[in-house]
Amino acid sequence: MEDNNGTPLNPLCLSIPSYPCESFFPLGIALLFSVSLMAQSAAPWKAAPAPELQSAAQTGDLILLRARLQTGDSPNARDTAQRTPLINAVRAGQLVAARILISSGADANARDVNGVTALIEAADKGRPKIAALLISAGADVNVRTRGLGSALDAAERAGHQGIVAMLRNAGARTTGKSVGDKVCVRLWEGDGYCGTVERTNRNDFQIRITEIVGCAGGCPPRAECSAGSPVGGPDGIKVGDTLKTVSWCLTETGVRP
């Protein structure tokens, strides 16, 4: 239906007597504009995946890497494993690519889906030059993650003594836990156990179990993290038991007794 000037009317005015019969098109444009603004405000928090940038970071294709950054790809883009281009560059040993990404604003403390940072990757894989670069860029030397522990844990376990010394000089510490403190090992999708530290020897901990978290049907054994025994269940580790574990198995070290 149209008004006297031939402009389509807002159809709402035909069914709602009190509704103004202004032109339909201006109202439609306003609604579209509002929806557009809402869509922009609801944009995901994370940067777009930028697959070409990720590939360039991994392969060390510096020409493509610079081109994608100049085009507007975010240096903090995430792939399906939530890894940034910097993490992928470190995993592949691409020192120059890592330097370019950091100078372009890459977050040196970004974590992947498992909580692993670029520095933990560098320590685990024995990449001292990249580790030094990341430390100079402000990477946190004491971040911990399930599985690998901290960068220091990863370097000590893999025998990368040069990186161990570098991390210690930068203020890295193992766990800072001592006898009487409470720690947790929750490596089974958040399930596991907590206990009180009874004895320490460098990275080795003797723990008396005070709580089994989840593991109702029993969590499978892990050689270092549960002394090769299942956790919970009818035949697994239970409250009151004592076992030995290592620092990189600890997922929580600030737990109150």
pLDDT at 12: 44
d(CA 96, CA 101): 9
Q: Smallest Cα–Cα separation from 77: which of 93, 63, 91, 56?
A: 56
pLDDT at 147: 67
What is the CATH number assigned to the segment(s) 51-169? 1.25.40.20
Residues 85 and 50 sit within 8 Å (Cβ to Cβ): yes
pLDDT at 134: 98
Q: Walk along the chain (257 residues) in steps of 10 and give the mean pLDDT of each run.
A: 50 46 44 40 54 96 97 96 97 98 97 92 97 97 80 88 94 74 88 91 87 93 92 93 89 58
pLDDT at 6: 52
Tokens 């000590």, residue located: 156
d(CA 110, CA 86): 9
Going by the DSSP 8-state scheme, the letter that residue 47 receives in this structure is B
Beta-carbon contacts of 32 under 8 Å, excluding residues fewer than 6 positions away, are none
pLDDT at 246: 87
The pair of structure tokens assigned to 144 is: 């911990």
Residues 249 and 187 sit within 8 Å (Cβ to Cβ): yes
